[in-house]
Chains A and B, each alone.
Chain A
Amino acid sequence: MKPAPFTYHDPTSAAEVAELLGRLDNSRLLAGGQSLMPLMNFRYVVVDHLIDLNGVGELAYIRREGPRLALGAMTRQRDLEFSPEIAAASPIILEALGQVGHRQTRNRGTFGGSLCHLDPSAELANIALLHDAELEILSRDGSRRTSMGEFAKGFMTPDLGEGEFLAGASFAAWPQGHGWAFEEFSRRRGDFAIVASGVLLTLDSAGAIDRAAIALSGVGPIPVRLAEAESALKGQTPGHEACRAAAIAASRIEAMEDAQVGAKYRRHLARILTYRALERAGARARRLSE
């Protein structure tokens, strides 16, 4: 089984990528290949030009920039998983990554590839939305910035125009001592999640929630934040009542339905997983503040 014929390009700089992408018709970028290669093997995707990003070193980085964490689009999931900067700044990323495929796919799969493929249940898209990631988009005409919320335009559809590509993303790390938890359910470990819920929170000196973020993926066609539930949590102690209220909000978002998983079941999972994630994040924050 092999892809339909294409012309292969191996640029070594982002400028070269922008130039090729702007010039070549029916071209596609190849990042880690863990989604695009199967699609090409099946010939669901047939391209005239394949532009391989694997030689573009400047797109692979993990940088701490003051309070922000910057990740290059071609950073391997494995490199995130083993990064001391990530472990220190945002340990939820490690918990989420442990559920992204398997070692063999994380060795190859990239951060940006996952954001652009934008599978509705992708852990890294959830993580980017949860952190209000700011994305850097390049093209022959220059660069622009957008938020993860804007970028996730629709079902597996990133907001990328003709000739545009994702260069990287950055987000503000939450303060030391924040609580976090990533909960997902999949039929077998390493499979695509059916639903996942990511939670970040901070507590004030009285032990009440000061700030909370909740991102759900796999429920609707794109990952979503529970903005109302997040603001409702402010000032509450992270106990049963608070978890229950957020869980109910999670169960009320519109859910997709397919041959395997009904909408009702997705909403059920959203409720249970959000409760658990919030409960664990709260317990963590309490422990860290003691």
Chain B
Amino acid sequence: MTDRWRIRLKVNGKEYEREIETRLNLADFLRHELLLTGTHVGCEHGVCGACTVLVDGQSLRSCLMLAVQAAGKEIATVEGLGDPENLHPLQAAFREHHGLQCGYCTPGMLMTLVEFLRDHPDPDEAEVREAISGNLCRCTGYQGIVDAALAAAASLRENPLKG
């Protein structure tokens, strides 16, 4: 018999309620149940970092958390960062500095860096490299991503996000 639970949680500020199988992981829940396909699924065993989201403000690999464990929590995904007309400073910096090519790793990179820059607003290059060491990028190489993160940090120091 399938074990199903009803959960309520907040994603990017919006309340959702769904009945799910308890074996469903958070990444698949976001993509298949809420149709928020911005969160990418790479290795599905916690190595690549593509599925990184924030849960109650902390980055984690959503392929290693069950959706049922996210009940009552606040999730932040890349969809909540900005939109094409109004990019988040990190997204703008990624575009400016060629921080992506195929874009597969980008949502995970962005969410990782959102947490990192929140806690370390003035990082040096080595700290940025350490911060993204759990996120694999297989095309642009990391230089553009590091440049983008440093530029975004500077821009956020100058114009902090409101709210």
Chain A contacts to B: CB under 8 angstroms: 1-8, 10, 33-34, 37-38, 41-42, 50, 52, 54, 78, 101-105, 107-108, 188-190
Contact = CB atoms under 8 A, between A and B. Distances in A.
B3 A107 contact: no
B46 interface: yes
Interface residues of B, number: 31
Interface centre among B21, B59, B64, B116 (most CB of A within 10 A): B64
Nearest to A107: B58
Given A8-B3, A33-B65, A101-B134, 16 more contacts: A1-B45, A2-B25, A2-B28, A7-B22, A8-B5, A8-B66, A37-B25, A37-B46, A38-B45, A38-B64, A41-B63, A50-B22, A78-B58, A102-B134, A103-B116, A108-B58
The 9 residue pairs across chains A and B that have the minimum distance between CB atoms: A102-B134, A8-B22, A38-B45, A37-B64, A1-B44, A107-B58, A3-B23, A104-B59, A7-B3
A99 B46 CA distance: 16
Nearest to A49: B3
14 contacts: A2-B23, A5-B3, A5-B21, A38-B64, A42-B45, A103-B59, A103-B116, A103-B134, A104-B60, A105-B46, A105-B60, A108-B58, A108-B60, A190-B134
Given A8-B3, A108-B60, A2 B24 contact: yes
Contacts of A2: 23-25, 28
B147 interface: no
A59 B115 CA distance: 26
Contacts of B66: 8, 33, 37, 52
Interface class of chain A by DSSP: loop
B2 interface: yes
B4 to A, nearest CB: 10
Nearest to A190: B133
Interface class of chain B by DSSP: mixed
B52 to A, nearest CB: 6
Contacts of B49: 102, 104
Contacts of A6: 3, 22-23
B130 interface: yes
Contact of A102 (B5, B22, B63, B133): B133
Contact of B60 (A10, A107, A188): A107
Given A2-B24, A5-B2, A189 B44 contact: no
Contacts of B22: 6-8, 50
Given A5-B21, A6-B22, A8-B22, A105 B45 contact: no
A189 B133 contact: yes
A38 B112 contact: no
A34 B23 CA distance: 15
Contact of B64 (A4, A8, A34, A50): A34
Contacts of A189: 130, 133
Interface in B109-134: 112, 115-116, 130-131, 133-134
Nearest to B52: A104
A78 B59 CA distance: 11
Contacts of B25: 2, 37, 41
A38 to B, nearest CB: 4
B23 A104 contact: no
A26 B23 CA distance: 16
